[in-house]
A and B are shown apart, each in its own frame.
Chain A
């Protein structure tokens, strides 16, 4: 079975500062990895995903993440935070083969300090 751990339920950064949201996963088979963003009273929007190939993936709104198999990590970064980045961020994993249901972490609430 797969699982996801997100370190830090709340992260605050100043506007213009680096954003780093941590995600570690556990999976017995090669995983697909995802980051989703959720704004208040809205559904989940895909930021980026890793399936196969290049381990550094770029997503929308300037976010990127790097798949590190040796560290079982998929941390999300953005060089310069913007006020509009304030939201809840979820890391998720699904199986490369088999049932593609998403298993989510508990989420990280990102606050941007003006």
Chain B
């Protein structure tokens, strides 16, 4: 079974530029998450999708961040314009809805490391 795929793995941009990250979840997983992991901190949820609908985007800085999951499969996270404090690793995760507690797990991709200069 293929894991969660993300691209690019690394990105360096200047502040005020735009950037986009792509995530392809595990096949059949209805729920998709984007987390931001700043150096020295734990991951923080930015947005959660259930199929192509948004479940939780309460911590997404909507003035500069946007995300979409148009067909309920892969997803794109965009930052426009980027700030220095956006330097972080952006992690994508997916899972099945909680059908059975013992099987519940979020699967993470390798992440995209963004450096804003």
Contact = CB atoms under 8 A, between A and B. Distances in A.
Q: What are the 6 A-B residue pairs with the smallest beta carbon separation, nearest first? A: A104-B42, A43-B108, A51-B101, A44-B108, A43-B110, A101-B45
A99 B110 contact: no
Contacts of B43: 44, 90, 102, 104
Contact of B33 (A41, A51, A101): A101
Interface residues on A, range: 20 to 34
Contact of B91 (A44, A52, A92, A99): A44
Contacts of B44: 104
Interface in B76-117: 91, 93, 95, 98, 101-102, 104-106, 108-111, 113
Given A43-B108, A100-B95, A104-B42, 7 more contacts: A32-B104, A42-B111, A46-B105, A92-B42, A101-B33, A102-B93, A107-B42
Nearest to A51: B101
